[in-house]
Structures are given as C-alpha cells and as structure tokens.
Amino acid sequence: MAAVAAAAPFRRMVTPGGYTMSVAMTNCGAAGWVTDRAGYRYAPGDPDSGAPWPAMPETFLRIAAEAAAEAGYPGFVPDACLINRYEPGAKLSLHQDRDERDHRHPIVSVSLGLPATFQFGGPKRADPVRRIALRHGDVVVWGGPARLHHHGVLALKDGDHKATGRARINLTLRRAL
C-alpha cells in the first residue's frame, strides 16, 4: 500500500461535472479508475505521471481470490485495484460501478482504519438505502444482483486509528478489462 502510494500518490480527482471529489484515490494493477472533465474510465497508467500504475501486489491478488472463492466466485483474478482514502468529512455519493467491461465479475472490498457508514441501495437510485457499518478488516464480496446496486459512503467521522491515523482506506479489487 505504501509502495503503491509512493509511486502513484493519492489525488482528489475531478468529476465530469467539474466537482473535485472529497475522497483521494490512487490505483494499482493493469488498469486504474480515473475521472476528469472528459468522463469516468479505466486507464492503463497514471494520468498525472504518464507511468503505468504500480503492479498489483501478490497479497492483494490472494485476498481477492480467496474472498471471492468463499463467496461463490471461483477463479477471480482482479486486474484493477482502486484505493480510496477518506479523511474526516470525505464522502462518496450514491453511485453504481458500471465502468467495468463485464459486470458478472464481483468486486471485493477491503476496509482499513476508521469505521464508516456504508449506504446500500437498490437497482434504482431512488430505492431505499440500508446503512451498514464498515470497520477495519472487513472484506465484502459484491456479486450477483448487488453488483449493480447503488451505494455510497457517508461523511467520515473524525477519529484516530492505529493502522491509518485520521483516515479510512478502502481497497476495491476489480476485473475491469
């Protein structure tokens, strides 16, 4: 994680609508999720440096494959890991993850550091949302119909965690290409 962030620093990206996201992001793997005024997409390298994203650490591949297999998705090989860093007040509005080529692949999320309130909705944006606490060490596999449900993260409450300090880090392991 530290090696990834040293090579491809966390940055707050701009949405197509021109808003700067409160969550800081970086990526590792063959593809990385990016947004700018032109849109959302997976890119082969860091637009800030022009270099390829750092390689996916073996530990990330192993955690993703083991969690996915246990949840009924054998043979999951992620090619993208989006790393989100939340500082106090940072949030992620309700959205769907649709930029990956084949939505039959699950997404594996790993939460580290400060706890957050996750919002889990339905296939339509207006569907009711459930609030679920995501805590340090939680690993969740999002597959099947849930893969395309709307979801978000409420503003992070301030705190201090021995693993991350005043922050929450979330890894999402994906098959993008």
Residues at the site binding Fe ion, with contacts judged by CB under 5 A: 97
Tell whether residue 173 is a contact of ligand MD3 (CB under 6 A). Answer: no
Tell whether residue 153 is a contact of ligand MD3 (CB under 6 A). Answer: yes
Name the minimum Å distance from CB 53 to ligand MD3.
Answer: 15
Q: Please name the residue that has the structure tokens 């947004």.
A: 35
Tell whether residue 109 is a contact of ligand MD3 (CB under 6 A). Answer: yes
List the x/- string, 61-100, binding to ligand MD3 by CB under 6 A.
---------------------x-x-------x----x---
Of 50 and 107, the one with the shorter C-beta distance to ligand MD3 is 107
Comparing C-alpha atoms, which of 146, 148, 167 is closest to residue 100? Answer: 148
Tell whether residue 46 is a contact of ligand MD3 (CB under 6 A). Answer: no
Q: How far apart are CA 92 and CA 71, in angstroms?
A: 25
DSSP 63: H
DSSP 93: E
Q: How far apart are CA 73 and CA 79, in angstroms?
A: 15
Of 25 and 50, the one with the shorter C-beta distance to ligand MD3 is 25
Name the minimum Å distance from CB 170 to ligand MD3.
Answer: 3
Of 49 and 93, the one with the shorter C-beta distance to Fe ion is 93
Pairing status of strand 32-36 against strand 39-43: antiparallel
Q: How far apart are CA 164 and CA 153, in angstroms?
A: 18
Q: How far apart are CA 121 and CA 154, in angstroms?
A: 13
Tell whether residue 119 is a contact of ligand MD3 (CB under 6 A). Answer: no
